[in-house]
Amino acid sequence: MTKLVGGFCGALLVFMLGNWAAETLYHTSGGHGDDEHAAYVIDTGEDDAAGAEEEQGPTFQELFASASAADGERSWGKCRACHALDGTDGTGPHLDGVMGRQIAAVDGFNYSDALASLSDREWTPAEMDAWLENPKSYAPGNKMTFAGLRDMEERANLVAYLVDQSPGYTPPAAAEDASAMPAEEETTDTAAADTAAEETTEETAAAEDVTEETVAEETAAAEEAAAEETAAADAAADSPLQQALAQGDADAGEAAFRKCRACHKLDDGANGVGPHLYGVMGREIAGVDGFNYSDAMAGLDGTWTPEEMDAWLENPRGYAPGNKMSFAGVRDLQERADLITYLQTIGD
């Protein structure tokens, strides 16, 4: 009994000491106005330096070499509304075994001509990286309505996850794949793109019609699939926002941006009533140099993630009470997701 009580008191003491230490640290680094300002100015310099370095920064292959399939599984939440991993096709073809598979090779799946014309290639990590970064430019006219993943590390993790879902597939040695890439990209890609362009000039109009027509259908199907998945699997990865983002439509977002245009420009450095929104996704909150933010806004830490942006756009007043954006908010979740999808395409 004595030991028990002693042990408990000891644990409590350690806990309280830890708490006190954490709080001290938090308060000293939380900073007051001046500190924060100084830290911010220094940060900007480093940011620019980092930006300059980024061009020679980590390559996809380097990130892929240390990628985390577990993190990739989380990003998979953006794909599962349309893709299954159990051999069944949905809006998109099943992706179990996709790595090393020929492009557009699932029997019975009705691929677009744009993707089908690339079937002489296979899904290597480098190809998958290019596709996921920007599906639209990888295979112009294809029918995957997905804006792409801007973050290279996220793509590397997701590809690692897809490798896990492809038993028997071993990624090529980094050097091989990297050296094979540019040549392939320039010759095959251009040729394929040219052919695709030729083939699809007439079809583009038709395809666009079809896309519009099938949006409703696809959405219904995707929602059904998502509902099934939620019941079946862990709901955690599939927050309502994630689901809405998976169906995020940059074109619809561009249309919704009409509501913002009076106050926000999308050109780097061009501030209006509000700060410019070039590259706003991932940018520091209240991070535009020379824009005169309210204290309410300037006092916030962090960067514009989809979650933060969603909360801000839903209710600017509740998000940062006293801020000076006189805008009531966007009530519709899907509209916010579309806006976020659109903003993700603005920047570099």
Query: Rule CB under 6 A: which residues touch ligand HEC?
Result: 78-79, 81-83, 91-93, 95, 98, 103-106, 111-112, 114-115, 131-132, 142-146, 149, 158, 222, 246-247, 259-260, 262-264, 273-275, 280, 285-288, 293-294, 296-297, 313, 323-327, 330, 339
The span from the CA of 262 to the CA of 322, in Å, is 21
Nearest to 246 by CA among 254, 234, 238: 238
Which two tokens mark 113?
């001509």
Residues 6+ apart with CB under 8 A from 20: none
- Give the tokens for residue 125: 């990590």
Nearer to ligand HEC, 103 or 152 (CB): 103
Q: What share of the chain is helix, strand, coil (3-state, %, to 5)?
A: 60, 0, 40
Nearer to ligand HEC, 244 or 286 (CB): 286
The residue among 26 and 167 lying less far from ligand HEC, judged by its C-beta, is 167
**CA-based nearest residue to 315, from 327, 304, 302:** 327
Q: Which of 61, 80, 244 is nearest to 153 (CA)?
A: 61
Q: Which is nearer to ligand HEC, 61 or 143 (CB)?
A: 143
Report the nearest approach of ligand HEC to the CB of residue 239 (Å). Answer: 15
Asked if 91 and 218 count as a contact pair (C-beta separation under 8 A), the reply is yes
Pick between residue 112 and residue 124 the one whose CB is nearest to ligand HEC. 112
Q: At what angle do helices 306-314 and 333-344 cross, to 10 degrees?
A: 130
